Amino acid sequence: MYCTVLTASKSGGIGNGLTYDAGDLQLQPGMLVRVPLRNKLVEAIVTDVRNDAPATEYDLKKVHGVFHPTPLLSPEQIATVRWMADYYLTTLRQAIGVWLPAPPWIKLLPKKTNAYRLSGKDISIIRGKKQQTLLETLTGKDWLSEDELLRESGSSKATLRGLVTKGFIEEESREASSHAANFSASLKQLPALTPLQEKVEESIRHDPRPSLLFGITGSGKTEIYAQLIVDALKKGKQAIVLVPEILLTEHSIHRYQALLDRSSIAVIHSRLTPAARRNLWQRVHRGEISLVLGSRSALFAPMRYLGLVIIDEEHEWTYKNEQTPRYHAREVAEELCNQFGAKLVFGTATPSLEAWTRAREGRYHLERLPQRYREQALPDVKIVDLAQVNFGSMYPFSPPLLDAIEDRLRRHEQSVLFLNRRGIATSLLCLQCRRRIVSPESQLPFTVHQSRDGRPYLLDHTSGLTADVPNLCPHCQSTKLLAVGAGTQKVEDILRRKFPQARILRADADTLAHPEQMRELLHMMRERKADILLGTQSVVKGLDLPEVTLAAVILADVGLSLPHFRAGERIFQLLTQLTGRSGRAKQGEVIIQTFRPDAPEIVAASKHETEKYLDQELKLRTYTGYPPAQEMVRLIVRDDMGGVQAKKLTMQLQQAIDAQTLRITAKCAPTFFGGGKVWQVLLRGEHPRELLRDRAVGDAVIDVDPIETV
Ligand code: ADP
Ligand code: ZN
């Protein structure tokens, strides 16, 4: 037998593994073996086995031995690793990196301890009291570990040794734990679904395709997940539930903790210490865990009997890994579930365009939950047209919004004010026709920048095109052009000036180092130690606050002005999440401030018309040639000479495209936040991935199906 293995040592050039002769060893993918490498013996994981000798003129070195018969990763998981490397154009080593804690991997193997049982030899001849006690302890039992045996019998090691030497007791090195796959033993409290939820759950369970559960906020998707988990465990299978940000999803974690014994749930996230991560990994590997709960990396938990994967808030951008391997959890989950024959469920109130297209095409099974549990009403949404507002010194606060905040302060209720994270992106807007000035190259908005001499100019971040700031609107010839944008800091200052008595919390990238701090802010809100929470994306995600009766978007257009083809979708998701979550306990109000009250994402979100918006946006993507209508790959070049390199790379790719008459466009430009040193090449069209396969791209990082493209 021959095998390909990945060594733990990161020597260059062997990222896709080395071939060894396994001799008579019965190897399986995922096993940990010992192999010779440059005069040393090192640990390595088997990624492939086959019977025919590979064609090579060198003598193949031999595998020295297997560390343990249990593979570290199952054949299904190894197959998924191979798929990841292939799809995301990475090496196997890069792909497997997310599946295994840092080497040495040998530390991950199940530990062995000595265990004992009676050998069957006649023990009636034993007279010693101590020896008799020890033998009685073993009578009628299968293997006991040394610890258990000495503790239960109260014997000494010497007594035990003596009996082993005389052959009355058998000794064997056995695994500390070999749990049977009885995952449903940990079930505590079963869910009670409404008739509608039950119907939906059954339909999901019986459909072999991935299911998209499209249910408005508060419709009870979590209850359906709970029932699906119960069904999986009862069939002897394990489940994984992914959530976008573990620390901001405490309420759903509590739900699962009510369902199952805590000891059979593993909560995995990216901020675990290496030791804690290793420990959880081993517990999952030993089969002690029925349910893994976590952010995107929880998908890589080493479960051997995977039967169900649930991805909650499927539309969230955190499911995309922004480091190599730049995978998307949605895609990897699909492959993993394929391999295991496991059920895959996506849940959301605002499906991503990707999931929506697949549901429309029938590749995903679609189920809807259009009502809230107990049919609680959705809040009223008011749109404030900022083009009609006289701000004075209060920009960007309109009088209706200030009134609404003041009203809440007087009634001792709470407000949440949302501003897009990327508040620095400024676009040029015409107040007459309300269109943004777009680049003729990409059809995406120009952003406003200042040159060194202080002169403003327009830049298209996807093509690099620059232009002077026009005096007249190119659409309607109006002179009422306004550069639109505002940051959280400035907004907070205005708020404090206007409401000096209010207790204001600010949550954005500058004030939050990690989500733990966001959780504290949410606690303060829940305990009513604050009146106003002002913040960015995370404010929307963690918004499950019963005393909040006002949720406002300060400038819905900030997101729209980001030169990004997903900007509209993103704003729609944020607005819908926000409108769906305010007024959970009391009747709530939502205010959306915008310069473009007729923008499709704003109108649709205010009327709760999700499907209409998605279909409309999909048409636009098809027309303009962006994902999911077309495939996209991004190459990222980081270098002081990034521009020169990116342009050279683009030229080479363009030559290949022309030579093979491929239907792919290649464009390069500096990235928005890269300070001129980070450039990107965007490839769009038919199978851009294939163009890159086996092609040297220098130090450029490959990002397949990118989410960030600015
Ligand atoms: P979603 O995840 O769809 O936003 P949730 O699962 O959080 O909705 O449900 C909203 C609220 O309704 C929660 O407080 C939940 O406990 C409650 N709920 C939903 N379904 C049921 C049910 N079948 N029995 C009891 N409570 C339910
Ligand atoms: Zn105009």
Of 176-190, 442-456, 573-587, least confident by mean pLDDT is 176-190
For range 362-370, the mean pLDDT: 96
Q: Is 193 in the pocket of ligand 1 (CB under 6 A)?
A: yes
Q: Could you tell which of 189, 200, 223 is best to mutate to test the pocket of ligand 1, judged by most ligand atoms within 8 Å of the CB?
A: 223
Residue 562 has pLDDT above 60, yes or no: no
Beta strands in 54-197 (DSSP E): 65-66, 112-118, 144-145, 169-175
Q: What is the mean pLDDT of residues 304-331?
A: 96
Query: Is residue 192 within 6 Å of ligand 1 at its C-beta?
Result: yes
Residue given tokens 């792919």 in the structure block: 664
Alpha helices by DSSP H, 49-108: 75-87, 92-96
Assign residue 374 a region (left: φ > 0; alpha: ψ between -120 and 50; beta: otherwise): left
Instruction: Kindly report, residue by residue over 154-169, the tens digit of the pLDDT.
Output: 889 999 999 999 999 9
Confidence band of 482 (pLDDT split at 50, 70, 90): confident
Percent of the chain predicted with pLDDT > 70: 93
Token digits of residue 368: 């809807």
Assess contact for 496 and 504: CB atoms under 8 A. Answer: yes
Q: Are 605 and 577 in contact (CB under 8 A)?
A: no
The preferred substitution site among 197, 217, 222, 350 for testing ligand 1, maximizing ligand atoms within 8 Å of CB, is: 222
pLDDT score recorded for residue 372: 81
Indicate the SS3 state at residue 664.
strand
Q: What length does the chain have? A: 710
Give me ligand 1 centre to Cα 589, in Å.
21
- The verdict on the CB of residue 217 being under 6 Å from ligand 1 is yes
Q: Check if 219 has its Cβ closer than 6 Å to any atom of ligand 1.
A: yes
| Most distant CA pair in the chain, distance | 111
* Whole-number Å distance between alpha carbons of 163 and 168: 5
Closest approach atom of ligand 1 to CA 374? 12
Within 10 angstroms of residue 451's Cβ, the number of other Cβ atoms is 9
3-state secondary structure at position 62: strand
| Closest listed residue to residue 63, CA positions, set 100, 37, 90, 98 | 37
- Tell me what pLDDT residue 23 has: 92
Q: In angstroms, what is the span from residue 481 Cα to ligand 2's centroid?
A: 8
Q: Which of 248-257, 464-473, 519-528, 538-547 has the lowest average pLDDT?
A: 538-547
C-alpha count within 13 angstroms, C-beta hemisphere, residue 176? 11
Centre of ligand 2 from the C-alpha of residue 43, in Å: 66
- Residue 60 tokens, joined: 């193949």
- The pLDDT assigned to 176 comes to 57
Q: Is any atom of ligand 1 closer than 6 Å to the C-beta of 350?
A: no
Give the pLDDT band (50/70/90) at residue 298.
very high
Q: Whose CA is nearest to atom 10 of ligand 1?
A: 218
pLDDT attached to residue 674: 67
Q: Is the CB of 222 under 6 A from ligand 1?
A: yes
Reduced to 3 states (helix: H, G, I; strand: E, B; else coil), residue 699 is: coil
Average pLDDT over residues 237-248: 90
| 358 CB near ligand 1 (under 6 Å) | no
Of the candidates 710, 430, 436, 383, which has an alpha carbon nearest to the alpha carbon of residue 560?
Answer: 436
Tell whether the model's pLDDT for residue 185 goes beyond 60.
yes
Which numbered atom of ligand 1 lies nearest the CA of 251? 7
Summarize pLDDT for 139-155 with one digit per residue, the tens: 877 777 787 788 778 88
| Average pLDDT of the chain to the nearest whole number | 88
For 116, 133, 138, 147, 214, the CA distances from 152, given in Å and listed in that order, are: 13, 10, 10, 9, 55
CA distance 59 to 65: 18
Using CA positions, which residue lies closest to atom 20 of ligand 1? 220
Which region among 175-189, 192-206, 440-454, 674-688 has the lowest average model confidence (pLDDT)? Answer: 175-189
Ligand 1 atom at minimal distance to the Cα of residue 221:
3
Q: What is the pLDDT of residue 499?
A: 96
The answer to whether residue 70 scores a pLDDT higher than 60 is yes
Q: What is the DSSP letter of 111?
A: P
| Gap from CA of 447 to ligand 2 centroid (Å) | 16
- Please state the rounded mean pLDDT for residues 664-678: 82
- Give the CA distances from residue 288 to residues 199, 264, 502, in Å, rounded to whole numbers and listed in that order: 32, 6, 50
| Residue pLDDT, tens place only, 438-474 | 888 777 788 787 777 777 888 887 778 889 999 899 8
435 CA → ligand 2 middle, Å: 6
Ligand 1 binding pocket includes 347 (Cβ within 6 Å): no
**Rg, Å, the chain Cα set:** 30
Of residues 29 and 485, the one with the higher pLDDT is 29
pLDDT at 425: 54
Which of 196, 373, 540 for mutating ligand 1's site (highest number of atoms within 8 Å of CB)?
373
Ligand 1 midpoint to CA 252 (Å)? 10
Residue 197 pLDDT level (bands cut at 50, 70, 90): very high
pLDDT in tens, 215-241: 988 889 999 999 999 999 999 999 999
Query: What does the pLDDT read at residue 423?
Result: 42
Q: How far apart are CA 469 and CA 451, in angstroms?
A: 12
The answer, yes or no, to whether any atom of ligand 1 lies below 6 A from the CB of 580, is no
Say which ligand is closest to the CA of 595. 2
Query: Whose atoms come closest to the Cα of 428: which ligand?
Result: 2
Helix (H) or strand (E) holding 684: strand 678-685
Ligand 1 mean position to 193 CA, how many Å? 9
For ligand 1, is residue 338 a contact (CB within 6 Å)? no
Per-residue pLDDT, 160: 93
Query: What is the Cα–Cα distance from 147 to 569, expressed in whole angstroms?
Result: 59
Say which residue the tokens 């399986």 belong to: 28
pLDDT at site 582? 63
Q: How far apart are CA 67 and CA 256, in angstroms?
A: 36
Instruction: Tell me what pLDDT residue 181 has.
Output: 59
CB within 8 Å of 459: residues ≥ 6 apart: 446, 447, 449, 465, 466
pLDDT over 80 at 585, yes or no: no
Is pLDDT above 60 for 365?
A: yes
